[in-house]
Structure 1
Amino acid sequence: MFGYYFKLGVKSLRRNPALTALMVLTLAVGVAASMSTLTILHMMSGNPIPHKSDRLLVPVLDVGPKEGYTPGSPPDDVQATYPDVKNLLSAPVGVRRTAMYGINLAVEPARTDLPAFQQQGLAPTHDFFAMFEVPFKYGQAWTEAEDKAGADVVVLSTDLAERLFGKTNPVGKQVRMSGYSYQVVGVADHWKPLPRYYHIISGNGEYGDEEAFFLPFSTAIRHEMGHAGSMSCNVRNAKPGFAGRLEGDCTWLQFWFETASPGDRVDVQSYLDSYVKEQHRLGRMERNQPAKLYNVMEWLEERKVVGSDEKLSVWLAFGFLALCLVNTIGLLLAKFSVRAPEVGIRRALGASRREIFSQFLVETAVVGLVGGTLGLLLSYGALALMGLSTPSMKNLAHMDLEMLALTFVLSIAAAVVAGLLPTWRACQVTPALQLKSQ
């Protein structure tokens, strides 16, 4: 019977075409408003690396001065100092460890037709690529030996490699950036996790473009490359110049641990607690506050990557959808009320209330299906307009298969919910009264 009712529902779309079009448009607008905002929130709050997010850990050490500090207050900055990074890189816990900071360099192409241009990159240690599963199109990451030696090597992004060398394998070639030449050892394939959880404090931002290049951390330090981002220094032991930044308690670096299993987090926490006590005895970490440890999702929550404004906008959009449903209920009541004689005749011929209810409910589902199709098109249009606002929004404003399926489910469910009252009213028609009126 469902197939028969579905055919009746399709045919019913031609009855009162103006009323039907108004219902479909009302439902489509409500679905588009809610799904476009929900898609943005979904992209912002998704788990960027779900299969190992509980094994990637960020340590936060409080190196601020004791003067003026209120016990229990959060650290002045959640980034790490260079002395702590050097110590943590040799820590006996975790299967991988990496430190990084953002850099902004001038790329100096060998081609005469291409002028110099600025690019945002990252300076991590070699474990970065395996830890965050960066895919490679050509070559590979630099080795641990090159990391220790501070070798002048570079991994390019696919976009930058094609801009400099075309669609060829550039491994082994030289790239000159900010006065130094670097040998290309690899080309990273397109890799843009959203949000950019591995380096969200500075650089390209939480939803910015992919890194244009990667230089070894030790190489960037050897060349005294400035960082792209924020920095906080303990003024009591601050020293001038780049060397002073390395020696003092200036927080400007990002650090990550990777453990073999989620249970190994306890070992990392124990090590950090011991490390804080040791540094306190040496005269550092005057506040003597316990180290904090965050996995990927905890880190995104702590950094408030998804703000209350985004969540509020979703609630407002669904409130607008509810308003559209109220209007759809009124339109369905009007549509079904004029069919009371038809219902009376069908009841008189033996149709049960259940059959009438099923028929009309399937008809509302057909309206929801058509409204969902139109709503999907409107959602794509709304996301395209949102993507024009900022570069970061462009990276977020696209719909995946999950949201695509949810759009149709939401539209059909919304139409069915809106049709419950009109359908129930239609089932209450008294056959005798309708036959007498004919």
Structure 2
Amino acid sequence: MPKPAPSPARAPEEVDMFTYYLGLGFRSLRRNPVLTILMVLTLSVGVAASMTTLTLLHGMSGNPIPGKSDRLFVPLLDNGPGEELDGSGEPPRQVSHTDAVNLWDQAKGALQTPLYGIGPAIDSGRADLPPFFSSGVAVGRDFFAMFDVPFLHGQAWSADDDRRGAAVVVIGRELSERVFGAGVNAVGQTIRISDVDYQVIGVVDTWNPVPKFYRLIGNSSFSESEDVYMPFRTAVNRELQVNGSIDCSSESGPGFQGLVASECVWIQYWVELESASKRQEYADYLNAYINEQKALGRYTRPVNFRLYDVMEWLDFNEVVSDDTRTSTWLAFAFLLVCLVNTVGLLLAKFSARPGEIGVRRALGATRRDVFTQYLTEAGVIGLVGAGVGLGLTFGALAYIRALDESIALVTRIDGAMLGTAVALSIAASLLAGLLPTWRACQVVPALQLKSQ
């Protein structure tokens, strides 16, 4: 015959009451397994739906470079034809080669870099590894310092390499291991890129800022970082084609050099200022620059430019869509529906135990003791629901990742989101348990004892 559970009134005084109530909560899960399973599933499904959408929103809307996001800026200049602004009044989201080089050479920021995407072919020179295409960017040497790019081996090229367009390159860790082998320091090696030999002077460690703020135009906002980093002038001199967006409001000359000499916009430009307070000073410089270009006959429209910091740039490009925000709110509305159902199930569970409550009260337990015990029991349900809900969340995110690889980077749960999931589940269960627990505390001991 099973040994009866000890009466709560006889619990040793030295035992922490919360720990004792926690133990009672876990044991109570076995009393009515059907109700327990229903409550856990109801709560865990609501938590999983909320955490899945919240994880996506967290990944998409997070600050990708919090240490300096208020000091990194994208200048946009309106070099369009005619004398009237476009209907939106917004300048193009990229700049022309002429403007990029002018701003870069004048160097009014602490650091600055032009940037455009390239897709060069890699020839490893090995019979077992045929030539393949890779993703890359043509940038200035300041790129690595501006965006806190971590180096595994070597370093960025020199300022002199920037000026003369040297045949040097920095490659990513994945490309280095693919071509030269894992664990090999590729610095000093030669790699053949688009039929030209380049000396490897640096290897970038794994680096995937989310969102990919530095290259939002003509590229996925959540793709992995590039394999090839080439000096900007080197790429232009070698006429490496643009792997990205090109917007021409007027015809350009023939070939790549025609694109370079045109007013087409195809280069993203970034500047880092010494402090956020220097923003107005740089804006004044842009205003003066445009007026200077107008005097040279280039700019024909009224002065029109923008200067966005990182978070403003993400908002301007709508990295987080309205659909994503709406989905998150709908998921939390679904969690609310799950809470209402959990309240009903807890009422059914607690209302079946008036005799036990009456005995506890008759033996000296206060309403506060009963309230604490039953609310702790609701919290235990939330804790179990958190475990099941996390499992469902991981499954949902894995499905989304398989469905759309372009957003794989934002489907990863970090420590903060794990803590949020557990806290959300427990808080939801405690909230759902308030009414049933309050009802349980209203039991009158005398009436219950008479009915026994």
Work out whether the TM-score is over 0.5: yes
* Cα distance per residue 1:17-46 (max 9 Å; x no partner): 111111111111111111111011101110
What pairs up with 1:104-123 in 2 under 5 angstroms?
104-123=119-138
User: Match for 2:69 among 49, 53, 63?
Assistant: 53
1:294 aligned partner: 308
2:144 aligned partner: 129
CA contact (8 A) 1:79 1:252 kept: yes
Distance (whole Å) between structure 2 residues aligned to residue 66 and residue 341 of structure 1: 86
- SS of equivalent residue, structure 1 residue 252: coil
CA contact (8 A) 1:124 1:217 kept: yes
1:304 aligned partner: 318
- SS of equivalent residue, structure 1 residue 90: helix
1:67 shift after superposition: 5.5
What pairs up with 1:311-326 in 2 under 5 angstroms?
311-326=325-340
1:349 shift after superposition: 2.4
* Cα distance per residue 1:328-380 (max 9 Å; x no partner): 11110000000011112222222221111111101101111111111112111
User: Match for 2:45 among 15, 20, 29?
Assistant: 29
CA contact (8 A) 1:93 1:267 kept: no
Letter in 2 for 1:91: Q
Deviates more, 1:2-11 or 1:36-45: 2-11
Distance (whole Å) between structure 2 residues aligned to residue 212 and residue 173 of structure 1: 16
* Cα distance per residue 1:136-195 (max 9 Å; x no partner): 111111111111111111111110111001021111111112111111111100011011
* Cα distance per residue 1:290-312 (max 9 Å; x no partner): 32100000000001111101111
1:258 shift after superposition: 0.5
1:109 shift after superposition: 1.3
1:187 matched to 2:214? The reply is no
Letter in 2 for 1:53: S
1:145 aligned partner: 160
Distance (whole Å) between structure 1 residues aligned to residue 106 and residue 313 of structure 2: 21
Deviates more, 1:243-252 or 1:185-194: 243-252
Distance (whole Å) between structure 1 residues aligned to residue 239 and residue 60 of structure 2: 34
1:319 shift after superposition: 1.1
1:39 aligned partner: 55
How many residues align structurally? 435
2:213 aligned partner: 197
CA contact (8 A) 1:367 1:415 kept: yes
1:166 matched to 2:181? The reply is yes
* Cα distance per residue 1:201-232 (max 9 Å; x no partner): 124x1001210111110000001111011111
Which runs of 5 or more residues in structure 2 are unaligned?
1-16
CA contact (8 A) 2:84 2:302 kept: no
1:3 shift after superposition: 1.6
2:11 aligned partner: none
- SS of equivalent residue, structure 1 residue 187: strand
Deviates more, 1:214-223 or 1:422-431: 422-431
Deviates more, 1:163-172 or 1:280-289: 280-289
1:71 shift after superposition: 7.0
1:266 aligned partner: 280
Distance (whole Å) between structure 1 residues aligned to residue 216 and residue 171 of structure 2: 20
- SS of equivalent residue, structure 1 residue 123: strand
Distance (whole Å) between structure 1 residues aligned to residue 203 and residue 188 of structure 2: 11
- SS of equivalent residue, structure 1 residue 137: strand
Which runs of 5 or more residues in structure 1 are unaligned?
none
User: Match for 2:81 among 47, 56, 65?
Assistant: 65
* Cα distance per residue 1:105-128 (max 9 Å; x no partner): 111111111111111111101110
CA-atom RMSD in angstroms: 1.3
